[in-house]
Chains A and B, each alone.
Chain A
Amino acid sequence: MKLELGKIMIKDVQFGEETKVEKGTLYVNKEKIKEMVLEDKRLIKADVELARPGESVRIAPVKDVIEPRVKVEGNGQVFPGIINKVKTVGEGRTHALVGSNVVTCGKIVGFQEGLIDMSGPTAKYTPFSKTNNVCVVIEGREDLETHEYEEAGRLAGLKVAAYIGEAGKKVEPDEIVTYETKPLLEQVAEYPDLPKVGYVHMLQSQGLLHDTYYYGVDAKVMVPTFMYPTEMMDGAIVSGNCVAPCDKVTTFHHFNNPVIEDLYERHGKDINFIGVVLTNENVWLMDKERSSDMTAKLCRHLGLDGVIITEEGYGNPDTDLMMNCQKVAQEDIDVVLITDEFPGRDGKSQSVADTVPEADALVSCGNGNVIEYFPPMDKVIGTLDYIETMIGGYEGSLKEDGSIEAEIQIIIASTIANGYNTLAAKGY
């Protein structure tokens, strides 16, 4: 499967009569977006605000972040099985408005969401302080159940991102990157002397507000499967997760998975990147046994020599992480884990909730318990009403002047457990 990803670099975002891209500026039609969001009768209010890098703006509470993309050639459309017909994606050509994002935010569930600062000392913790953000501020009907609200918010963000993505369909990209993974036997034959490496991608799937969708399937009811990495670049995986902000894998991160990016970078040089084993994170121990057994079986079946495993979340998923690690290692496959840590402010407590002797190579993406000071911002998109009840916030977090003292786990993607952050260990 071969995908050309055309990157259209966006340097600014403005409102305009027409949604279009011109000389690196993205123009968006505010009214059209509002209208589109309010088509869902579960949502009663919608607004659109813009946030650019360096501005004195705080966005809170943030639900999802989505890069606008569009299929230009090849089968299917972005987000198959969710807002478009089910069709295998990942082949042909896709355009991405790189440097811009749709950010869904506003009065949401009380405790799950986090914040993005566009400037100041805490902006460095989130990649979304460096992008031009179209913030879709939504409000649901008062009587709406939490999970219905999550769905309405999720779909609103995806629809708006797909709509904005269309603006890039006929624009000549600034850069085209080609990614290719061949069918297994051909891929193995292409670089027979290089070690075969796979990526075990664990999807958050524990229950309401902890869900991820693969071609529209709730990941908790699927069994582990094999996928081409390029399928993810077309939106085959969508986030429905509202758990801890710091390690929430947003839909942006599914599009732009840094493990996949780096494995492709090394593909054909010192490794042979075979593909992705997709698995889930469940509540029932029996499901964990089954999924980790199947993950190990698939890795062995694919003839892998080495595997990188990432997780989403803390606690229960640590058990899946360690079971995957142990069982894959027992197949005589080298395993490297990537995760973040919650070892207390001083970093001295146990970092993860579970461990096995086979977990002897682990890359950390930072300590979510570190406390930071967030100075006041001139403008708030959304509301600060929920700061003290957000994960990472606490009683007394929000000061009268609008400044905040909180753990960095309140910041979207600050310790994201796939390395798309600034706290990850990096090689130079």
Chain B
Amino acid sequence: MGGDIILITNNENFIGKDYKVYSVEFRKCRYIEILTKVRDKVHENYRILTHPMAGSLKPNQTPYKSVLLIKEETLDYNSLNLIENAIDSAKKFLGFRKLPQWNEKCLKDFRTLDQSFIEGALLNKSKNSYYIK
């Protein structure tokens, strides 16, 4: 029906579950490193499906980031533009102030939110539509 869908994430809530629609590429790394990984994938002809700044939580506030991408035949310039903007913005915020030392309760909440941004978005659409370019 279409190319592979992958989730690039540093959120351990996604580990070990079978999501069927997408496969999970978990990395234990910082928020900004997820964004650069997404950028690298875009250069390997992956197209971004979910906004890299989802959640209105600023890059110096939440440590977690998850982005869904789909494999295409050619480079998607919109995706490239989007991820480069997100990286610029993240660097700007991290330059203002570094990430706080969150306690476990806050970290858990951040993980739950990050997970909901991805899962919530699946609620309102027909499955085949993910693959439509």
Given A285-B49, A369-B96, decide whether A317 and B56 contact each other with a Cβ distance below 8 A.
yes
Q: Are B120 and A206 in contact (CB under 8 A)?
A: yes
Contact of B56 (CB < 8 Å), options: A282, A285, A313:
A313
Is A210 an interface residue when CB atoms closer than 8 A count as contact? yes
Is A141 an interface residue when CB atoms closer than 8 A count as contact? no
| Complexed CA–CA distance, A207 and B110 (Å) | 12
Is A284 an interface residue when CB atoms closer than 8 A count as contact? yes
Q: Are A282 and B112 in contact (CB under 8 A)?
A: no
Q: Are A207 and B120 in contact (CB under 8 A)?
A: yes
Q: Are A394 and B97 in contact (CB under 8 A)?
A: yes
**Across the interface, which residues of B come within 8 angstroms of A204, CB to CB?**
56
Q: Are A287 and B96 in contact (CB under 8 A)?
A: no
Q: Are A389 and B53 in contact (CB under 8 A)?
A: no
Q: Are A243 and B57 in contact (CB under 8 A)?
A: yes
Q: Are B106 and A287 in contact (CB under 8 A)?
A: no
Q: Which B-chain residue is minimally distant from A318 (CB atoms)?
A: B53
Interface residues of B in 83-111 (CB under 8 A from A): 85-86, 88-89, 92-93, 95-97, 100-103, 105-106, 108-110
**Across the interface, which residues of B come within 8 angstroms of A210, CB to CB?**
55-56, 113, 117
| Complexed CA–CA distance, A243 and B8 (Å) | 24
| Complexed CA–CA distance, A363 and B131 (Å) | 38
Is A213 an interface residue when CB atoms closer than 8 A count as contact? no
| Complexed CA–CA distance, A352 and B96 (Å) | 15
* Segment of B12-20, B28-36, B37-45, B122-130 in the binding face: B122-130
Is A52 an interface residue when CB atoms closer than 8 A count as contact? no
| Complexed CA–CA distance, A394 and B57 (Å) | 15
Q: Are B116 and A207 in contact (CB under 8 A)?
A: yes
| Complexed CA–CA distance, A41 and B56 (Å) | 31
Instruction: Looking at the assembled complex, report how far the CB atom of A398 sits from the nearest CB atom of chain B, in whole angstroms.
Output: 13
Is B51 an interface residue when CB atoms closer than 8 A count as contact? yes
Q: Which A-chain residue is minimally distant from B120 (CB atoms)?
A: A207
Is A32 an interface residue when CB atoms closer than 8 A count as contact? no
Given A110-B105, A221-B123, A350-B92, decide whether A316 and B85 contact each other with a Cβ distance below 8 A.
no
Q: Are A315 and B112 in contact (CB under 8 A)?
A: no
Q: Are B123 and A220 in contact (CB under 8 A)?
A: yes
Is A260 an interface residue when CB atoms closer than 8 A count as contact? no
Q: Are A206 and B112 in contact (CB under 8 A)?
A: no
Is A111 an interface residue when CB atoms closer than 8 A count as contact? yes
Q: Are A394 and B100 in contact (CB under 8 A)?
A: yes
Q: Are B61 and A283 in contact (CB under 8 A)?
A: no
| Complexed CA–CA distance, A294 and B23 (Å) | 31
Is B118 an interface residue when CB atoms closer than 8 A count as contact? yes
Q: Are B112 and A145 in contact (CB under 8 A)?
A: yes
Q: Are B51 and A288 in contact (CB under 8 A)?
A: yes
Is B27 an interface residue when CB atoms closer than 8 A count as contact? no
| Complexed CA–CA distance, A244 and B89 (Å) | 17
Interface residues of A in 207-252 (CB under 8 A from B): 207-210, 220-221, 243-244
Q: Are B56 and A147 in contact (CB under 8 A)?
A: no
**Across the interface, which residues of B come within 8 angstroms of A317, CB to CB?**
56
Instruction: Looking at the assembled complex, report how far the CB atom of B44 sits from the nearest CB atom of chain A, in whole angstroms.
Output: 18
Q: Are B121 and A282 in contact (CB under 8 A)?
A: yes
Is A354 an interface residue when CB atoms closer than 8 A count as contact? yes
Q: Are B121 and A284 in contact (CB under 8 A)?
A: yes
Is A314 an interface residue when CB atoms closer than 8 A count as contact? yes
Q: Are B48 and A285 in contact (CB under 8 A)?
A: yes
Q: Are B106 and A389 in contact (CB under 8 A)?
A: yes
**Across the interface, which residues of B come within 8 angstroms of A391, CB to CB?**
58, 61
18 contacts between A and B (CB under 8 A): A111-B110, A146-B112, A204-B56, A206-B56, A207-B120, A208-B116, A221-B124, A282-B121, A283-B50, A283-B54, A283-B118, A283-B121, A285-B50, A286-B129, A316-B51, A319-B53, A389-B106, A391-B58
Q: What 13 additional pairs, Cβ within 8 angstroms, besides A207-B119, A244-B56, A342-B58?
A: A111-B61, A111-B109, A145-B112, A146-B108, A146-B109, A146-B113, A206-B55, A207-B116, A208-B120, A221-B124, A316-B51, A349-B92, A391-B58
